[in-house]
Amino acid sequence: MNDLFGRNIDYLRLSVTDLCDLRCVYCMDPAGVEKLAHGDILSFEALEELVRCAVALGVTKVRLTGGEPLTRRGIVTLCARLKAIPGVKELAMTTNAQTLERFARPLREAGLDRLNVSLDTLDPDQYRRLTRGGELERVLRGIEAVEAAGFPPVKLNAVLLGGVNDDQIRPLAELAQQSPRSVRFIELMPIGVCARFDPARFVSAQSVLERLPELRPLDRDGVALRYTAPGWAGTVGLIRPMTDHFCPACSRIRITSRGFLKPCLHDAAEIPLRGLHGQALTEAMMQAILCKPRQHHLGPDEPSGAGRAMYEIGG
């Protein structure tokens, strides 16, 4: 279905849990997340019903996110159930990959089409500090397992923090040199614990390009502008929510693990879907798509209006 600005809404990001096994410094408070009562998060039946309804309105691509989706009990079964819904052409997941090594093959067998892995540094100590306890080695084994399980080339997502991990631009980019992976640098967004970040922490997409002068523009892949270099097998993507609003190309809606539909990541509007079924659910979803704003207003002095943290919405 089209929104009021003619954008075809075909992509649903579905948060399946608020919980996470990491506490990345730009996403979560060191204390972590208060565990919700079991009844507060959407059941598999409810998630299935939401996806069926979204598909009937034109969604073809569903991405599972969180919190950390692999911490949701029964995640492989959930993938199989969602992939079995007619009209779900692509089922994807974004993960921190801490437990991906053991999940990669079962997820592939359950019908998951694609995996994006968040990886902000190749330095094990820096990784541990940035994620407050994560193990880099597990991520690297997870990526190998994804490639061995027959998934399409993995997309690696990195958020850069000036003075923290911006020394990793080249090492991370070079993961796309020998293999057809896509390494994507995402500009830090002023949301949640980062709502008012120190400007010194911001690393623009432009400064990534300056540090990788061999890159040449290739194409656009969703919200990412892609680049490659002579002789490289893979690509480097730049996702620039701060320096180049990609809102005109936005085809997404998001549903939080508590069942609120967010028409825009950075807008306060949320439409409660919990407890709705049949026509009432369809109408609520249509209304939500129709109130998708033209664009967000993020800026150095303008934090996100989301009213929620990234781990609640799913990025």
Binding site for ligand SAM (CB under 6 A): 20, 26-27, 65-66, 68, 94-96, 118, 157, 159, 186, 188-189, 191, 194, 310-311, 314-315
Which of 249, 275, 270, 250 is closest to 313 using CA atoms? Answer: 270
Partners of 271 in the β-ladder: 261
Which of 139, 22, 149 is closest to 76 using CA atoms? Answer: 149
CA distance 118 to 102: 17
Query: Does 312 sit near ligand SF4 (CB under 6 A)?
Result: no
* Residue among 168 and 228 whose Cβ is closer to ligand SF4: 168
Query: Does 225 sit near ligand SF4 (CB under 6 A)?
Result: no
**Do residues 254 and 10 lie in contact, with contact meaning Cβ atoms separated by under 8 Å?**
no
**Least spacing, CB of residue 22 vs ligand SAM, in Å:** 7
**Least spacing, CB of residue 78 vs ligand SF4, in Å:** 18
**Least spacing, CB of residue 169 vs ligand SF4, in Å:** 19
Give me the 72-111 binding string for ligand SF4, x by CB under 6 A, dash otherwise: ------------------------x---------------
Instruction: Supply the DSSP symbol for 302.
Output: B
Query: Does 68 sit near ligand SF4 (CB under 6 A)?
Result: yes
Structure tokens at 239: 């996702």
* Residue among 188 and 285 whose Cβ is closer to ligand SAM: 188
Quote the strand ranges of the chain, DSSP E: 11-15, 61-65, 90-95, 114-118, 155-159, 182-186, 216-221, 224-228, 235-239, 252-255, 260-262, 271-272
Give me the 117-156 binding string for ligand SF4, x by CB under 6 A, dash otherwise: -x--------------------------------------
* Residue among 292 and 303 whose Cβ is closer to ligand SF4: 303
Which of 131, 223, 230 is closest to 184 using CA atoms? Answer: 223
CA distance 23 to 19: 10
* Residue among 10 and 68 whose Cβ is closer to ligand SAM: 68
* Residue among 118 and 304 whose Cβ is closer to ligand SF4: 118
CA atoms within 13 A on the CB side of 170: 6
Residue 55 backbone dihedrals phi, psi, to 5 degrees:
-65, -40
Q: Which does 23 bind (CB under 5 to 8 A by kind): ligand SAM, ligand SF4, none?
A: ligand SF4
Residues that bind ligand SF4 (CB under 6 A): 20, 22-24, 27-28, 66-68, 96, 118, 310-311
